[in-house]
Amino acid sequence: MTTFDIDERLFEDLKGKVVIITGASSGIGLATLKFLISHGARAVAADINPLPPDIEGADFRKTNLTSWAEQVALFDETVKRYGRIDIAVLNAGVGEIENVFVDNVDANGALVEPDFTVLKVNLIAPIVGTKLAIHHMRKQPGGGSIVITGSGKAWTGVGGTPMYATAKHGVLGLVRTLGPDLRRVNVRINLMCPFWTDTGIIPPDLLAKNASAKRSMQPPSACARAIAHLGMDPSCSGKVIYVASSTYTDVDAGVMATRPLWLGQRNHEDRVVWEEDPSNAEFSTPL
Ligand SMILES: NC(=O)c1ccc[n+]([C@@H]2O[C@H](COP(=O)([O-])OP(=O)(O)OC[C@H]3O[C@@H](n4cnc5c(N)ncnc54)[C@H](O)[C@@H]3O)[C@@H](O)[C@H]2O)c1
């Protein structure tokens, strides 16, 4: 069984921790911000939109995460003000904006370049955030922790949102690759993958007619607890957690336990030889 409970005692140590949360002005990011503040963390909230007016105790920084300069400033100013960053929650996201495979043409009949904002916000921005978090965290005593918000679409393609799913598959690859390598510099990275969560990212018309959404909808607070868990549990490194109907599942534990079944015993064993080969160390991510 790869489903697990979250140990609330972990959250006692959130007091005083410095946490950056992106996409903090609504939905999962806002729920995470509230959760962290209520546990005494010092929270730096970054979003392109302002926080709701009733939020107290957050240090808001208006940031367009698709801008390298603005994201650099977010991390630099946080370290300048608080001296360190304990946890970086890279959560901001947008839904599919357009179907890039439908031909749009200009007045001359030439193909128009598609809008790749989904890849910029959901993939490039968390890669930049990860780079900046590593840059600062590796230099500080005790290291630090990065939590990225993925999705069930990190490993499935259901729903006709190819750019969104590509971005989410991308952050899955990032976490799986960097997870083991970042231990060398005392930084942890993990992925929190929600299923249906009651936020503004879900188009209202979809919500009204989708049986799965009605069946499985969870409050954003369920994701906030998973983010805080991954941020705080020192044993979580390279973990991929699925959060659905307010339950928590360790995805890669399940993947590994069943791999001989779906990949074939021989293929599984061949991969184990490759994955556990000590000479892989020399090919790990340069940091
Ligand atoms: N709600 C769900 O069912 C669900 C399911 C799977 C994954 N997710 C993921 O959860 C994360 C949070 O989304 P949510 O559901 O809370 O939606 P949301 O729309 O409520 O929140 C997203 C936040 O990101 C911010 N944002 C978007 N682009 C930005 C930019 N360029 N710079 C700065 N901030 C920006 C928005 O202003 C918003 O506050 C996303 O990564 C999303 O892909 C959500």
Question: Per residue in 99-129, pLDDT tens?
Answer: 999 999 999 999 999 999 999 999 999 999 9
245 φ/ψ angles, rounded to the nearest 5 degrees: 50, 40
Q: How far is the CA of 201 from the centre of ligand 1 (A)?
A: 6
Total of domains in the chain: 1
CATH number at residue 129: 3.40.50.720
Cβ(63) to ligand 1 under 6 A? yes
Tell which one of 20, 21, 22, 28 to mutate to probe ligand 1, the residue whose CB is within 8 A of the most ligand atoms.
28
pLDDT band of residue 207 (cuts 50, 70, 90) is confident
205 is a domain residue = yes
Task: Find out whether the beta carbon of 64 lies less than 6 Å from any atom of ligand 1.
Answer: yes
Give dist(CA 69, CA 263) in Å, integer: 44
Question: pLDDT by residue (tens digit) across 222-242?
Answer: 999 999 999 999 999 999 999
Q: Which two tokens stand for residue 137?
A: 């965290």
Q: What's the whole-number mean pLDDT along residues 129-147? A: 98
Ligand 1 neighbour 48 (Cβ under 6 A): yes
129 close to ligand 1 (CB < 6 Angstrom)? no
Residue 267 domain flag:
no
pLDDT (0 to 100) of residue 1: 59
Determine the distance separating the centroid of ligand 1 and the alpha carbon of 29, expressed in angstroms: 7
Domain containing residue 22: 3-257
Instruction: Please check whether residue 159 lies inside any domain of the structure.
Output: yes
273 found inside a domain: no
Reported pTM: 0.97
**Count of alpha carbons within 13 Å of 252, Cβ hemisphere only?**
17
- Closest-CA residue, ligand 1 atom 14, reads 27
Q: Is 281 a member of any domain?
A: no
Strand segments, DSSP code E, in 25-172 are 42-47, 58-62, 87-90, 144-149
